[in-house]
């Protein structure tokens, strides 16, 4: 099931990972269009909520329906299929951005920069709230932050920004497309483009990252 087909679903969906139960996701499905229904005497009917806790172990999803007050009946299969699709996308995104941070951290160390990881909390309509790593880097007095922004934007499958710290000034953006991370500069005064792909871009590598930082330092000097 894709995000596009999911828009046709009959449910509003939310997902979160409780602090006290890391690794378990709580999905809540609320049927659309029932809020206006009224019972006897015009009293609004309680809107049913289907709540399911999901845990992934050894690649298999375990669904726990014990927390739901309402029974989805025949829709249970459809709901579980949608959760499975969302969990796949969630895993893909978290793995993609974590691998990026791992790789950049390694390059930064090889370049002699100091690094420190910080946690970034993200909210995503499709895969729910989640946590991913961000990476602080420092070369002499210059500090940068590689910060994940979002999983999905038109034409790309991931956005990560590079900021000059501590002011959080934009330096560049990384977009995931063509099965790799691409580095896009955002020079002040640059002409806006219709899509991110039209902006000046180069594949992310240790060399291109070092080049951006070197140019930034030169510009700041």
Partner 1 sequence: MPHNHEWQSRIKAVAREYEAMRQAADRFRQASLADPTILEGNLRQGEIVVASKNLEGTYIIRLFAEFETGARQYWSANWDTDPKTVDLLNGLAARREIPDTQRDNAHLVREYRNALVHEREEKPEVVPIAVARSYLCHFFSFLPPRW
Query: Which residues of the shown chain bind partner 1 in the complex (CB under 8 A)?
Result: 118-121, 134, 136, 145, 147, 163, 165-169
163 or 176: whose CB is closer to partner 1?
163
131 or 180: whose CB is closer to partner 1?
131
51 or 137: whose CB is closer to partner 1?
137
The closest alpha carbon to 149, from 180, 167, 179, 170, belongs to: 170
163 or 181: whose CB is closer to partner 1?
163
CB-based burial, 9-41: b 16+ in 10 Å, e otherwise: bebebebeeeeeeeeebbbbbbbeeeeeeeeee
Note the Cα 28 to chain centre separation in Å: 19
The closest alpha carbon to 9, from 68, 55, 75, belongs to: 75
27 or 163: whose CB is closer to partner 1?
163
Q: Read off the DSSP letter of residue 104.
A: H
Q: What is the nearest approach in angstroms of partner 1 to the Cβ of residue 99?
A: 21
**What is the distance between the alpha carbons of residues 132 and 128, in angstroms, rounded to a whole number?**
13
CB-based burial, 104-141: b 16+ in 10 Å, e otherwise: bbebbeeeebebeeeebebebeebbebebbbbbbebee
Q: What is the nearest approach in angstroms of partner 1 to the Cβ of residue 137?
A: 13
């Amino acid at each position: 099931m894709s995000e596009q087909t999911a828009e046709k679903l009959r449910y509003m969906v939310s997902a979160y990972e409780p602090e006290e139960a890391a690794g378990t996701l709580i999905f809540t499905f609320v049927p659309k269009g029932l809020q206006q229904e009224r019972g006897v005497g015009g009293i609004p009917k309680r809107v049913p909520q289907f709540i399911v806790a999901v845990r992934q172990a050894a690649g298999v999803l375990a669904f726990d329906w014990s927390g739901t007050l309402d029974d989805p009946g025949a829709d249970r299969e459809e709901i579980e299929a949608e959760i499975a699709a969302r969990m796949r996308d969630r895993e893909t995104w978290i793995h993609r951005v974590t691998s990026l941070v791992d790789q950049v951290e390694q390059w930064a160390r090889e370049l002699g920069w100091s690094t420190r990881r910080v946690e970034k909390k993200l909210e995503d309509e499709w895969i729910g709230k989640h946590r991913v790593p961000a990476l602080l880097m420092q070369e002499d007095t210059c500090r940068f932050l590689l910060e994940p922004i979002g999983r999905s934007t038109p034409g790309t499958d991931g956005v990560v920004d590079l900021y000059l710290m501590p002011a959080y000034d934009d330096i560049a953006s990384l977009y995931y497309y063509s099965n790799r991370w691409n580095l896009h500069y955002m020079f002040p005064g640059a002409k806006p483009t219709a899509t991110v792909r039209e902006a000046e871009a180069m594949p992310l590598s240790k060399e291109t990252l070092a080049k951006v930082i070197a140019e930034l330092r030169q510009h700041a000097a």
